């Protein structure tokens, strides 16, 4: 038998060890280059979906890593890879390690399916989450001054994708939240281009700020299609052509929707009372020659004695139409309309939402 020297044995063992190491490391290098190793990807876990209001829902889920998550509302179910790699038009948000919450606004009342996938800083792609937002069913909505919808929650399920529904606009305002009774109304009038924000950085709606005369004529002017008057002379001493409401005031005055004060002022910064808002909306209907059937039954309000004579018919009519519902009721169940109280921007959004729905068929 041939004897091996110690030197030759050591050399052979070293060669075998090198071959084994190469065989072990080669697949790991390939996995890193192809990014197919699932052990480094974020792991997303199902949470819940809650209806905060008719048009708003909150979705929660957890992740074990930070990164970016991408989402899709309804449509054909994507893969995690196609969702993450869908390009700049795919909406995305920062992913936290732990619980993540995403609010979705301007939804329809139907059930919705949310698809979520994430990637970390290294480009590792997570699993795909499928979360079902329950259909909306109405709760207590209150009147013009408060109230809210009863939140509805469902646990997510990995069901089949629903028929495609276009992605709806989102709530852009930092001071309007999913739990606010007026969020559906604010999103509606903003999406219709009727009421804009009060500032852009930050983007604010200022829901508690009183509505002014300049604001309301601008809103109705936009609703009418922003008509321009060529040969109308400005009758008001305090309406400057450089102000945002200039064209709106001219149109509203010429259309007999608003009038000025005896001293020649329009007073665009004066607050609009709730009874004046009712009058202005009724005059808009008359200007547009919109006629709607209305009951002749006379409604006795809790604060009827506070309603000015010129506004009595408008308050009765707008209440019967469901446009102005009041701010509450007294112990006898009679509505409190608060006629001389200033209408806030939130209340105006609610009234205008109902008003537009009332007249849109005409």
Residues 120, 249, single domain; the answer is no
Residues 132, 234, single domain; the answer is no
Closest CA to 216 of 167, 149, 271: 271
Q: 166 in a domain, yes or no?
A: no
Closest CA to 49 of 139, 111, 127: 111
Residues 191, 129, single domain; the answer is no
CATH of the domain at 143: 2.60.40.10
Distance CA(298)–CA(319), nearest Å, equals: 11
- Residue 140 is predicted with a pLDDT of 34
- Residue 158 is predicted with a pLDDT of 33
The one-digit pLDDT tens for each residue of the chain (362 residues) are 444 455 544 444 454 444 343 333 333 222 222 233 345 889 998 877 877 666 667 788 899 999 999 989 888 999 999 999 887 778 888 888 888 888 776 677 788 899 999 999 999 999 999 988 888 765 433 455 543 223 333 333 332 222 222 334 578 888 888 788 888 899 999 988 999 888 888 889 999 999 999 999 999 999 999 998 877 788 898 998 888 899 999 999 999 999 888 898 999 999 999 999 999 999 999 999 999 888 888 889 999 999 999 999 999 999 999 998 888 888 888 889 999 999 999 999 999 999 999 998 65
Closest CA to 136 of 107, 169, 157, 95: 107
Handedness of CA 282, 286, 290, 296 (dihedral sign): positive
- Residue 53 is predicted with a pLDDT of 65
Distance CA(255)–CA(225), nearest Å, equals: 14
Q: 4 in a domain, yes or no?
A: no
Q: Residue 72 in contact with residue 115, Cβ under 8 Å?
A: yes
- The values of phi and psi at residue 226, to 5°, are 55, 55
CA 50 to chain centroid: 15
SS3 193: coil
- Residue 105 is predicted with a pLDDT of 66
Q: Residue 216 in contact with residue 348, Cβ under 8 Å?
A: yes
Residues 228, 301, single domain; the answer is yes
- Per-position DSSP letters for 66-92, written without gaps between them: -EEEEEEESSSPPPHHHHHTS-TTS-E
Residues 205, 103, single domain; the answer is no
- Residue 267 is predicted with a pLDDT of 93
Tokens of 244: 């945002």
Based on its alpha-carbon atoms, the radius of gyration of the chain, rounded to whole angstroms, reads 31
Q: Residue 171 in contact with residue 52, Cβ under 8 Å?
A: no
Cis peptide before 202 (omega within 30 of 0): yes
Residues 324, 202, single domain; the answer is yes
DSSP state at residue 218 = H
CA angle, 72 then 73 then 78, to 5°: 45
- The residue among 102, 137, 154 that closes a domain is 154
Distance CA(88)–CA(52), nearest Å, equals: 29
Residues 215, 94, single domain; the answer is no
Residues 216, 304, single domain; the answer is yes
- The residue among 133, 154, 175 that closes a domain is 154
Residues 239, 291, single domain; the answer is yes
- Residue 81 is predicted with a pLDDT of 93
Distance CA(32)–CA(36), nearest Å, equals: 7
- Residue 235 is predicted with a pLDDT of 87
Residue 334 structural domain: 183-359
Closest CA to 141 of 109, 113, 115, 117: 109
DSSP state at residue 344 = B
- Residue 54 is predicted with a pLDDT of 64
State how many domains the chain has.
2
């Amino acid at each position: 038998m041939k004897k091996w020297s110690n030197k030759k044995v050591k050399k052979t063992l070293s060669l075998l060890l090198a071959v084994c190491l190469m065989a072990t490391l080669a697949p790991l290098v390939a996995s890193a280059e192809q990014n197919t190793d699932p052990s480094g990807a974020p792991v997303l876990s199902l949470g819940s979906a809650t209806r905060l209001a008719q048009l708003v829902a909150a979705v929660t889920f957890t992740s074990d890593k930070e990164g970016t998550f991408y989402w899709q509302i309804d449509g054909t179910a994507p893969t995690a890879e196609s969702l993450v790699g869908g390009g700049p038009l795919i909406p995305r948000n920062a992913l936290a390690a732990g619980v993540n919450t995403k609010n979705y606004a301007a939804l329809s009342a139907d059930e919705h399916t949310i698809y979520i996938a994430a990637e970390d800083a290294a480009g590792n792609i997570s699993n795909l989450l499928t979360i079902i937002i329950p259909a909306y069913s109405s709760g207590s909505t209150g009147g013009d001054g408060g109230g809210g919808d009863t939140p509805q929650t469902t646990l997510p399920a990995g069901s089949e994708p629903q028929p495609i529904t276009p992605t709806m606009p989102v709530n852009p305002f930092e001071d309007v939240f999913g739990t606010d009774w007026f969020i559906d109304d604010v999103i509606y009038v903003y999406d219709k281009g009727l009421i804009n924000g009060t500032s852009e950085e930050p983007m604010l709606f200022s829901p508690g700020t009183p509505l002014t005369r300049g604001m309301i004529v601008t809103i109705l002017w936009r609703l009418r299609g922003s008509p321009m008057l060529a040969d109308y002379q400005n009758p008001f001493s305090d309406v400057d052509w450089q102000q945002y409401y200039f064209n709106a005031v001219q149109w509203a005055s010429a259309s007999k929707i608003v009038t000025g004060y005896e001293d020649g002022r329009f007073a665009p910064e004066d607050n609009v009372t709730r009874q004046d808002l009712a009058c202005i909306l009724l005059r808009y209907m008359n200007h547009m020659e919109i006629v709607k059937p209305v009951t002749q039954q006379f409604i006795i309000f809790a604060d009827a004695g506070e309603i000015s004579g010129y506004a009595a018919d408008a308050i009765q009519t707008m209440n019967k139409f469901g446009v102005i519902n009041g701010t509450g009721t007294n112990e006898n169940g009679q509505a409190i309309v608060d006629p001389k109280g200033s209408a806030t921007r939130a209340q105006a959004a609610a009234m205008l939402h109902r008003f537009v729905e009332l007249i849109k068929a005409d």
